[in-house]
């Protein structure tokens, strides 16, 4: 394999054995996602004048850089607007390793020949790649051998990296299409390592739903930074896509005036749910509950309940549908059935079988720690929150939100988000 560091500043020879300059940079066609072909060589002469030579005129790159013909007959190259200069725009830059799902720095670039053409195949993020650039590769290996260490090259295929350059619209659009396929928690971890301007640019191509999923997994600092850079109407749209409890948490940390502006821009139904959650004390069960839960009327049979759920908007929006709550006509909690039991029961069986007076539940002002204790004690995935005295169903506290209240802050973002999506 050939590495960019081995080529930069090396003499370039024409087809007649004359030195025509030194290699200043290599230009590739950035529209090719997997293995971008080299489009041109950028040469510089003794007075630092630069000249672009079309890749079709390249005879070899290693062990020497040679052209097929006289420099005056070599094909000149005119940039078309979709090229990428490897030394100037990629080397030493931060990129996203889509497979390792982390932010890394480019220490070198790998190039390979296939037929008559040369291609960019990957980025070297290893310490050995850095030593190679400094001309210390052999010395580094020798020292490592003394200490019985093995320095290895770590090359990430180009198709598995994404740019975070916010001033390169073309590459950024490619990166956005790749990043959006990553789990939101991994995107959030990457955003935590970027500055706010880069994060903002990287997320511009995300849909509101994708952006909402990512923000739910992000740190409060990243949430505030991203939303503050969005147009208020779009910020409101993104908040609508989030779970009500997550949206409430974000708005609670904002300036009251900004929070009220966003709530006003949200759809009435979503805004009302979020406002109700903001009204509870931060350390209460109401403060961490979500108003999205799945329910069915108490007079249904199993078959009727399943048919009801297929067309229920509440069920479609419920990411945590482990339980189905049985309510009367006044939304009073009468019982609960696991989704598994429901789908495996006879269709003509009445739901009244699960109606009981011993449902484990909490009230809106129940301390969060008590809700977490009950979830752990009874091995629950969620616990219902009801009004005192009337038992009217208000929402649920999920196991992940309950754990957030008792685990150290540093652990919270390591937790998986339980979802049935």
Per residue in 351-407, pLDDT (tens digit) is: 888 777 689 999 999 999 999 999 989 999 999 999 999 999 999 999 888 877 665
One domain for residues 244 and 318: no
pLDDT more than 90, % of the chain: 44
The pLDDT of residue 190 is above 80: no
What's the rounded mean pLDDT across residues 99-127?
85
Tokens of 5: 């560091």
One domain for residues 353 and 250: no
Q: d(Cα 35, Cα 157) in Å, to the nearest integer?
A: 8
C-alpha closest to that of 24 among 114, 107, 87, 90: 87
CATH number where 73 lies: 2.30.30.240
Query: 104: part of which helix (H) or strand (E)?
Result: strand 102-105
Strand partners, 117: 114
74 domain-assigned: yes
285 domain-assigned: no
Tokens of 420: 């049935």
One domain for residues 346 and 223: no
Q: pLDDT category, 129, cuts 50, 70, 90?
A: confident
One domain for residues 223 and 338: no
What's the number of domains the chain is made of? 3
The helix, strand and coil proportions of the chain, stated in percent and rounded to the nearest 5, come to 40, 25, 35
pLDDT by residue (tens digit) across 192-229?
766 666 676 667 778 898 889 888 888 888 888 888 87
Q: What separation in angstroms does the CA of 226 have from each of 191, 199, 202?
A: 10, 7, 10
| 125, 146, 167 - which closes a domain | 146
| 146, 162, 188 - which closes a domain | 146
**Strands 108-114, 117-124: pairing kind:** antiparallel
One domain for residues 6 and 140: yes
pLDDT more than 70, % of the chain: 86
| CA trace torsion 294, 299, 305, 310 (10° rounding) | -70
Who wins on pLDDT, 34 or 386?
Answer: 386
Strand partners, 108: 124
One domain for residues 203 and 312: no
User: Model's pTM, two decimal places?
Assistant: 0.56
Who wins on pLDDT, 247 or 358?
Answer: 247
One domain for residues 200 and 253: yes
One domain for residues 11 and 118: yes
Q: How many other CB atoms sit within 10 Å of the CB of residue 343? A: 12
Is 417 in contact with 215 (CB distance < 8 Å)? no
One domain for residues 408 and 311: yes
220 domain-assigned: yes
Q: pLDDT category, 417, cuts 50, 70, 90?
A: very low
Q: What is the DSSP string of 259-310?
A: HHHHHHHS-HHHHHHHHHHHTS-TTBHHHH-BS---EEETT-BHHHHHHHHH
One domain for residues 270 and 224: yes
CATH number where 189 lies: 1.25.60.10
CATH number where 340 lies: 3.10.580.10
User: What per-residue confidence (pLDDT) applies to 217?
Assistant: 82
Q: d(Cα 236, Cα 391) in Å, to the nearest integer?
A: 32
164 domain-assigned: no
69 domain-assigned: yes
417 domain-assigned: no
One domain for residues 193 and 80: no
Q: d(Cα 412, Cα 234) in Å, to the nearest integer?
A: 27
257: containing domain = 180-279
Phi-psi category of residue 286: left, alpha or beta, with phi > 0 → left and psi -120 to 50 → alpha:
alpha
17 domain-assigned: yes
Q: d(Cα 108, Cα 110) in Å, to the nearest integer?
A: 7
299 domain-assigned: yes
SS3 (DSSP) at 185: helix
| CA trace torsion 62, 66, 68, 74 (10° rounding) | 130
Q: Which distant-in-sequence residues (6+ apart) come within 8 Å of 351 by Cβ?
A: 296, 298, 299, 300, 301, 302, 305, 326, 335, 337
One domain for residues 141 and 211: no
Number of residues assigned to the chain: 421
């Amino acid at each position: 394999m050939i590495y960019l560091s081995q080529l930069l500043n090396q003499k370039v020879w024409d087809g007649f054995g004359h030195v025509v300059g030194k290699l200043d940079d290599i230009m590739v066609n950035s529209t090719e996602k997997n293995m971008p072909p080299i489009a041109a060589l950028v040469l510089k002469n003794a007075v630092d004048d630069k000249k672009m030579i079309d890749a079709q005129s390249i005879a070899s790159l290693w062990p020497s850089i040679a052209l097929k013909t006289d420099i005056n007959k070599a094909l000149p190259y005119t940039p078309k607007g979709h090229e990428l200069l490897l030394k100037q725009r990629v080397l030493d830059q931060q990129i996203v390793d889509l497979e390792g799902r982390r932010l890394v720095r480019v220490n070198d670039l790998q190039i390979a020949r296939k037929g008559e053409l040369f291609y960019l195949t990957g980025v070297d993020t290893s310490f050995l790649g850095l030593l190679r650039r400094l001309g210390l590769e052999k010395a580094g290996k020798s020292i490592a051998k003394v200490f019985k260490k093995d320095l290895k090259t770590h090359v990430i295929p180009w198709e598995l990296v994404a740019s975070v350059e916010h001033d390169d619209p073309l590459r950024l659009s490619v990166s956005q299409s790749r990043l959006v396929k990553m789990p939101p928690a991994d995107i959030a971890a990457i955003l935590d390592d970027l500055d706010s301007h880069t994060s903002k640019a990287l997320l511009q191509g995300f849909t509101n739903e994708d952006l909402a999923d990512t923000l739910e997994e992000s740190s409060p600092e990243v949430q505030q930074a991203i939303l503050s850079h969005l147009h208020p109407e779009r910020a409101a749209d993104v908040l609508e896509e989030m779970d009500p409890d997550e949206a409430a948490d974000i708005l609670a940390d904002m300036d009251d005036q900004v929070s009220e502006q966003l709530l006003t821009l949200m759809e009435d139904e979503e805004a009302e749910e979020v406002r109700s959650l903001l009204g509870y004390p931060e350390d209460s069960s109401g403060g961490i509950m979500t108003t999205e839960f799945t329910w069915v009327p108490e007079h249904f049979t199993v078959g009727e309940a399943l048919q009801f759920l297929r067309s229920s908007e509440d069920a479609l929006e419920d990411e945590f549908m482990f339980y189905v709550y049985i309510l009367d006509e006044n939304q009073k909690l009468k019982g609960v059935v696991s989704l598994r039991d429901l789908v495996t029961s006879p269709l003509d069986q009445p739901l009244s079988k699960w109606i009981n007076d011993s449902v484990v539940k909490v009230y809106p002002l129940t301390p969060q720690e008590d809700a977490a204790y009950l979830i752990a004690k009874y091995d629950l995935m969620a616990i219902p929150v009801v009004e005192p005295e009337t038992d009217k169903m208000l929402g649920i506290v999920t196991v992940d939100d309950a754990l957030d209240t008792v685990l150290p802050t540093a652990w919270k973002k390591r937790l998986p988000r339980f979802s049935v999506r």
